[in-house]
Amino acid sequence: MKKANFLRIVVVLGVLGATATLGYRYLQKREAPANTLHLFGNVDIRQIQLAFHDTGRIQRILVEEGQRVQAEELVAELDPVRYEAAMEQARAQVAAQKQGLARLLTGSRPEEIAEARARVKAAEAKLREAEATHRRAKILAQSQYVSQQQLDNAEAALNTARANLDWEQQALTLAVKGPRQEDIDAARAQLKAYEAALEKTKEELADTRLYAPEQAVVQDRILEPGDMASPQTPVFTLALDNPIWVRAYVAEPDLGTIAPGMRAEVKTDSFPNKTYRAWIGFISPTAEFTPKQVETTELRSKLVYRLRVYVCNPQNELRLGMPADVLIPLNQPNPPEAPGASNPCQEN
């Protein structure tokens, strides 16, 4: 009997507790004025899967989970040795090509032209000598003092001397005129290619340092020093908690009572005595079925429109996924044309 009485007492207390909770929730809803739209939703933020642009072994990780980082703050580094060597090689190629282009632009030096003239004179002297030898051999061959082979050799030497003189004269002409414009243009194009390769190696070296793109909180630290990183493998998950908003839903009959830019208030169960200033930033142009996680008293199959209600969160108390109530006064003047043009977070 005592056990049965105890169970009855527990059941009665449970019923009273549930009744009190429902009554409290009812009173909370009754607190909202009649000209206030009461919506339900969850706190939402953006997330970033932060990864290196290049492949390599992680050398340092500079932040921990839960740590707040600023925009452009260094958070991790790859081993840069390979990328530094590639950059030095590209820099050397650029320097060598610059010297080659400068040589072409300068043209032939006076000493080179003088050397070409001297070679022409030497070729002319050899040609005169070959001509004299050939004449003598031809006269002696007529008297049969020399063989036909000796005459042929003298004639071959004469032809060689003539060809050599022509070669040296062409070389002198090229030395005087200098390099062709096509060669200069080709050297310039090659220099641009080497310079582009150098800039690429500089970018690749810079990509061994990973920076936070915006102010955020490190939500997950996925890799550690010594791990191999790649563009497909995130190193961190960052939570962008500025701005922060509540993802809420409004039924079609209430859609005409709200507009982007209207002021609102947000309340949460975690801080029941605190009200956060907010404003409507976005209203979806398409309808959808009410999500399962939205706690409304309407039917789950009812079509609703998604809202993005931006919230002032100066103490960083609102967290991703936190249930929230949105109260929108309906007796407001015309909202600003641009959503968020009058930011309540900037007001005292």
Of 24-33, 54-63, 188-197, 302-311, the one with minimum mean pLDDT is 24-33
**Number of domains forming the structure of the chain:** 2
Confidence grade of residue 184 (pLDDT, cut at 50, 70, 90): confident
Query: Residue 15: its pLDDT value, please?
Result: 43
Same domain, 198 and 90: yes
CA 318 – CA 320 distance, rounded (Å): 7
Q: Is residue 228 part of a domain?
A: no
Q: Is residue 276 part of a domain?
A: yes
Query: What residue type is assigned to position 183 of the chain?
Result: D
Of 43-47, 77-81, 116-120, 181-185, the one with minimum mean pLDDT is 116-120
Confidence grade of residue 226 (pLDDT, cut at 50, 70, 90): very high
Q: What is the CATH number of the domain that holds 198?
A: 1.10.287.470
Residue that has been written with the tokens 């005087």 in this structure: 176
Q: Which residues constitute the domain of residue 150?
A: 85-203
Answer yes or no: are the C-beta atoms of 286 and 261 closer than 8 Å.
no
Confidence grade of residue 254 (pLDDT, cut at 50, 70, 90): confident
Same domain, 195 and 101: yes
User: Highest-confidence range of 144-148, 174-178, 330-334, by mean pLDDT?
Assistant: 330-334
Same domain, 89 and 198: yes
Same domain, 244 and 339: yes
Same domain, 184 and 273: no
Confidence grade of residue 343 (pLDDT, cut at 50, 70, 90): low
Answer yes or no: are the C-beta atoms of 305 and 284 closer than 8 Å.
yes
Confidence grade of residue 166 (pLDDT, cut at 50, 70, 90): confident
Q: What sign does the CA torsion over 171, 176, 181, 183 have?
A: positive
Domain boundary among 176, 203, 230: 203
Same domain, 93 and 191: yes
Of 37-51, 81-95, 289-303, 306-320, the one with minimum mean pLDDT is 289-303
Confidence grade of residue 81 (pLDDT, cut at 50, 70, 90): very high
Query: What residue type is assigned to position 225 of the chain?
Result: P
Beta-sheet pairing, 56-61 with 74-78 = antiparallel
Q: Is residue 50 part of a domain?
A: no
Same domain, 91 and 196: yes
CA-wise closest residue to 236 among 75, 80, 78? 75
Q: Is residue 54 part of a domain?
A: no
Same domain, 197 and 93: yes
Q: Is residue 22 part of a domain?
A: no
Q: What is the CATH number of the domain that holds 339?
A: 2.40.30.170
Confidence grade of residue 231 (pLDDT, cut at 50, 70, 90): very high
Same domain, 276 and 172: no
Same domain, 247 and 163: no
pLDDT at 228 over 80: yes
Residue that has been written with the tokens 């009649």 in this structure: 34
Q: Which residues pair with 276 in a beta bridge?
A: 266
Q: Is residue 160 part of a domain?
A: yes
Q: Is residue 303 part of a domain?
A: yes
Q: Is residue 246 part of a domain?
A: yes
Query: Residue 150: its pLDDT value, please?
Result: 75
Mean pLDDT, rounded, of the chain:
81
Same domain, 94 and 191: yes
Same domain, 177 and 101: yes
Locate 68 and state its tokens.
């707040």
* Longest Cα separation, the chain: 160
Confidence grade of residue 139 (pLDDT, cut at 50, 70, 90): confident
Segment 124-152 mean pLDDT:
75
Domain boundary among 203, 227, 261: 203
Domain boundary among 203, 226, 256: 203
pLDDT at 177 over 60: yes
